[in-house]
Structure 1
Amino acid sequence: MEQNQSFNDLLFQAIMERQQYFDSMLLPKLQEEFRIMQSASKTILTVLQKKGVIRDDPYNYDSKRADIEVPPEDTFSDNEKAAIIGRRLSQYEAMLDYLNNYYQFNCDYLATDRIQKMVALNRTFTWESFSITSTRPNTKGLADLVNNIRNGSDPLSISIINDALTQLSKSSISITKTLKMLTDFHRERYKTAVRKMVMPGAVINPASLSNGTSAALKEIKKSFAVNMKDQPFYTELIEEILKEEYSPEHAVLQQELLARLAISKQNQTKTASAESLKPVLLDGIRTLGSVSPQLDEIVAKLAENNHLLANIEKSFFEKFSELLKKAFNIKKQDELIWITSIDPATQTGKREQLNLTEFIEDIRHRSRIFTGFTLRSSPAFQKIELMDESQILDLLTRNLAELGTVLKQCAGLDDYFKQNAPPEIRDRVRGIKVEISAIRNNIVKANQCRAEYASQVEEQQQLKKLGITHG
């Protein structure tokens, strides 16, 4: 439970820091993007009106209203095009004006229902794929009207409209990305609230989850009805919590969750053009390699503890046996040690047998490899730099998984030496919890690099689908 509590503490801190980042950085920028969109859409509206392509909208959208009213998206005939598009563009600009003047751009105000309205308003016209071949009636209709001006002989109006459309496209992409991030944040904030307020009051039997989540959900609903009765019960998100807390891959899921919440702010300033993401993965490799000194310290302490236990006062026959083995050059058998590695989520122990000599030698070998990860001039690092991204990602993922297993075994050995040392020498047993904790922190940071890479790959793929990047 101690390690699980540590995860919850890290999660709560990450949520608070993430909210502060949204409120102080991302949401003010989001409001600025909406203001740019209002100004640019107003520009297009004005040019179309001056050119007589559309007329002033007879409806008064400046009157007081309770909330955003998204313009309709239904089809219309060519004869109705100018009137309907003029009305919808006018309503769109008025809704942007309302949003900019009456919405509060902070996480608490921009709840999921308001985000959905902002997303719908942002999709009234698909500026990032503005074309007369669009399948969306509003976009196609407005593109047809704009095309009429482009076919005219007024270069100034054409230039003004083109500049406005460029601004609208950039802002729409930025808004879509931020609103998606905000939606994801609200999902995790909801789950964090459930963890904090509901889960402590629910009795969950981890073993029962192998037969499905129905029993656990029933127990959680009881606690939910008492502690979060004013909130909706999202089964999908509750099941995500159960996976992150009790599934066999819970440790990986928890680290990935922390990594997603801690994505670097520099992501917000990246250009839309495709770029090599190899440096992100190489940062993860170097971060992983920096655990080498802690691994060397663990080796030294484990060897010292083993020597300490091996040299406690032996019986006459044990000493006599050792003398005989030396006399006849009989090789001493490697000692096999039974340890218990604890699953931090379920607190269930796994018994396994370790060959201590081989285990220590394996850690020494890993330490030498990891040292090569940190030195840019080393042959190992230069070889990694020549790999493609998928190979580096596989190398990073594999080493993270293997190192996680080694840490659990090290923790089991730490408990073994402390429990089996006689009282008179117990205070001389050297603990390794500090080193284990330091390595776990590096694992989290390396996982953050892995998650950042995945996020940027997804972003590039989405932009490619929109036709914004090529490759």
Structure 2
Amino acid sequence: MENGNNFTETLLQALDEKAQWYDNTELPQILDNYRLLHTCVKVIFDFLVKKALITPDPYKLDKKISDIKAPDSGQFVENERSVIIGQRFSDYESTLDFLCNYYKFSVSQLSIGNIKKLIDLNNSITWNSFSANSNKINTRVLATMIFSARQNSDALTASMLNDNLSKASHALTDINSALKEYTDFQKEWYKGQIRKNVIMSPSFDANKALSDHASEMQQIKKNFAAGMGKIPFYNELIEEIIQEDQGEKKADLQQKLLAKLNIKKKESKKAEKRIDTKALIMGALQVLGATPPQLGGIAQKIQDNHDILESEHNSFMDKLKRALRKAFGLEEKPLYYTITITDQTTGAKRTEKINYQTFITDLATKARRFASVAQTNSPGYKKIASMPEEKIAEFVAAQIMDCNKLMILLGALDDFFKTTASPMNKSKIKGLKIDITTLKNSVVKANQLRVEYTSYIEEEEQMKKLGITE
């Protein structure tokens, strides 16, 4: 009995240490991969919408995502393909957005049941085996759409699409691999919680339980609800506990279990590996390089909203003025929008005038600039990569700061269009909030890499000052 208690204490300590490692190291990496996957999915989604191959879900903003749920995978008739796949792909993207921004990736939250939900979501669109011959209907239809549209796209768009499909594939492969290992740990964590909350409870008759296998099972069942609440009863995992307690090979099973929970040396040494800081800061730039489709979609919506507002100024005098300007070759009079910007910290409001024509031009320039560095073999990427690291970091920081300012203006511009349009046109105004959120996710990811780069550089400088070199 004493040996059993020693094993349980050692096991629970090992489980706590492993859980802490997962919370601090491995689960954040899984979340990072989901963020990368979400960014790629949004780019692909926008591409399909732009090509009019799918119809965005009109009720997307009304749906409140509060749990992990895979999109529908049932059959549908061919003439409904655009609408059905549009809705399913929209649901899939919304769930990824929920995972990236609201879901807590922790051992306590990510239980065996929730892992299954993640795996179902991952299997709903298999980017790591993306084929028009897939036996999964959503994957098959999306692959058919994308491969067909890619053939009719320009080289830059096709390259961008290939890059995002490749990144999505690698991200999903890494996620699935990590989840497989994590599932094994969660099973042991579940068994550990039973030992802690059921077997070690005062009402558990240890002497009776250890008399034979059936008695221990009976004691666990008797005390399970009181100790574990609504957590499911997994019979096969309970059987493993009993084998570890009183099976013929219990010593061997206990030893193997403790060995499995050891945090491997290669895991603990990940942070010791020399980081390629230049690759890190260029990676931040490449994240921004994936944003041109997002910026293009935003620019198109702004143009459409602008046209709606202009259509409200179509009197005889308006038409006459336009005709005269055209006849005499006069430039269009600059158009200014007065927007209201709210400080997120203080709540203070201020107004700002933006030149519509200049704003649209700047958006297009920004999209071209980022597109030029999207691929590692592009001249733009190579030109920046040839610069000193500190100059690259300054450039990336400036672009991130510029994007943050842009998102503030876009939010204010979104409110401006919605409040300025006449009642009859309000329903025609295209909202920008989803696009801003997607852009924000990319900028946040780029900034995370920039901050990580800065931390490594500062650490290296500090070590040099202390006379420590590798």
- TM-score category by the smaller chain? 0.5 to 0.7
Q: Is the 8 A contact 2:18 2:263 kept in 1?
A: no
Structure 1 pair 59/258, CA: closer, same or farther in 2 (3 Å)?
Answer: same
Map Cα deviations across residues 195-217 of structure 1 (whole Å, 9 max, x no partner): 233224234568864xxx43331
What are the ranges of 5 or more consecutive residues in structure 1 without an aligned counterpart?
Answer: 271-471
State the AA in 2 paired with 1:180: K
Give 1:136-147 correspondences, 5 Å limit: 136-147=136-147
Q: Residue in 2 aligned with 1:47?
A: 47
User: Which stretch of structure 1 is more off in the superposition, 220-229 or 257-266?
Assistant: 220-229
* CA apart distance, 1:120: 1.7
Root-mean-square deviation (Å): 2.5
Measured in 2, the distance between the counterparts of 1:186 and 1:252 equals 21
Structure 1 pair 207/9, CA: closer, same or farther in 2 (3 Å)?
Answer: closer
Q: Is the 8 A contact 2:68 2:117 kept in 1?
A: yes
Give 1:30-429 correspondences, 5 Å limit: 30-61=30-61, 63-200=63-200, 201-203=204-206, 209=212, 213-264=213-264, 266=266
State the AA in 2 paired with 1:45: F
Map Cα deviations across residues 44-91 of structure 1 (whole Å, 9 max, x no partner): 111112222223332324643432342101122333323322221122
Q: Is the 8 A contact 1:82 1:145 kept in 2?
A: no
Measured in 1, the distance between the counterparts of 2:73 and 2:33 equals 23
Q: Is the 8 A contact 1:202 1:223 kept in 2?
A: no
User: Which stretch of structure 1 is more off in the superposition, 70-79 or 217-226?
Assistant: 217-226
Measured in 2, the distance between the counterparts of 1:191 and 1:170 equals 32
> Is 1:11 paired with 2:11?
yes
Q: Is the 8 A contact 2:44 2:161 kept in 1?
A: yes
Q: Is the 8 A contact 2:65 2:94 kept in 1?
A: no
Measured in 2, the distance between the counterparts of 1:261 and 1:28 equals 19
Structure 1 pair 225/67, CA: closer, same or farther in 2 (3 Å)?
Answer: closer
Query: What TM-score results when the alignment is normalised by the length of structure 1?
Result: 0.52
* CA apart distance, 1:229: 4.7
Measured in 2, the distance between the counterparts of 1:4 and 1:197 equals 16
Measured in 1, the distance between the counterparts of 2:178 and 2:61 equals 27
Runs of 4+ in 1 over 6 A off after TM superposition: none
Give the fraction of aligned pairs with identical amino acids, expressed as a percent.
40
Structure 1 pair 176/242, CA: closer, same or farther in 2 (3 Å)?
Answer: same
**What secondary structure, in the 3-state scheme, does the structure 2 residue paired with 1:123 have?**
helix
State the AA in 2 paired with 1:33: N
**What secondary structure, in the 3-state scheme, does the structure 2 residue paired with 1:198 have?**
helix
Q: Is the 8 A contact 1:206 1:246 kept in 2?
A: no
State the AA in 2 paired with 1:7: F
**What secondary structure, in the 3-state scheme, does the structure 2 residue paired with 1:175 have?**
helix
* CA apart distance, 1:235: 2.1
**What secondary structure, in the 3-state scheme, does the structure 1 residue paired with 2:176 have?**
helix
* CA apart distance, 1:131: 0.4
Measured in 1, the distance between the counterparts of 2:92 and 2:143 equals 15
State the AA in 1 paired with 2:159: S
Q: Is the 8 A contact 1:61 1:91 kept in 2?
A: no
State the AA in 2 paired with 1:188: E
State the AA in 2 paired with 1:91: D
Measured in 2, the distance between the counterparts of 1:206 and 1:137 equals 50
Measured in 2, the distance between the counterparts of 1:204 and 1:229 equals 24
* CA apart distance, 1:226: 4.3
Q: Residue in 2 aligned with 1:22?
A: 22
Q: Is the 8 A contact 1:61 1:94 kept in 2?
A: no
Measured in 2, the distance between the counterparts of 1:138 and 1:60 equals 18
* CA apart distance, 1:19: 0.7
Structure 1 pair 204/139, CA: closer, same or farther in 2 (3 Å)?
Answer: farther
* CA apart distance, 1:4: 2.8
**What secondary structure, in the 3-state scheme, does the structure 1 residue paired with 2:172 have?**
helix
Q: Is the 8 A contact 1:62 1:94 kept in 2?
A: no
Map Cα deviations across residues 297-350 of structure 1 (whole Å, 9 max, x no partner): xxxxxxxxxxxxxxxxxxxxxxxxxxxxxxxxxxxxxxxxxxxxxxxxxxxxxx
Measured in 2, the distance between the counterparts of 1:8 and 1:208 equals 18
Structure 1 pair 52/197, CA: closer, same or farther in 2 (3 Å)?
Answer: closer
Q: Residue in 1 aligned with 2:454?
A: none
* CA apart distance, 1:132: 0.7
**What secondary structure, in the 3-state scheme, does the structure 1 residue paired with 2:187 have?**
helix
Structure 1 pair 91/207, CA: closer, same or farther in 2 (3 Å)?
Answer: closer
Measured in 1, the distance between the counterparts of 2:210 and 2:252 equals 20
State the AA in 1 paired with 2:80: E
Structure 1 pair 230/48, CA: closer, same or farther in 2 (3 Å)?
Answer: closer
* CA apart distance, 1:130: 0.4
State the AA in 1 paired with 2:70: V
Measured in 1, the distance between the counterparts of 2:210 and 2:97 equals 55
Measured in 2, the distance between the counterparts of 1:83 and 1:113 equals 31
Structure 1 pair 19/62, CA: closer, same or farther in 2 (3 Å)?
Answer: farther
Q: Residue in 2 aligned with 1:356?
A: none
Structure 1 pair 170/202, CA: closer, same or farther in 2 (3 Å)?
Answer: farther
**What secondary structure, in the 3-state scheme, does the structure 2 residue paired with 1:160 have?**
helix
Map Cα deviations across residues 246-287 of structure 1 (whole Å, 9 max, x no partner): 1111111111111221152636999xxxxxxxxxxxxxxxxx
**Bigger Rg over Cα:** 1
Structure 1 pair 199/172, CA: closer, same or farther in 2 (3 Å)?
Answer: same
Measured in 2, the distance between the counterparts of 1:264 and 1:17 equals 12
**What secondary structure, in the 3-state scheme, does the structure 1 residue paired with 2:82 have?**
helix
* CA apart distance, 1:26: 1.0
Q: Is the 8 A contact 1:55 1:83 kept in 2?
A: yes
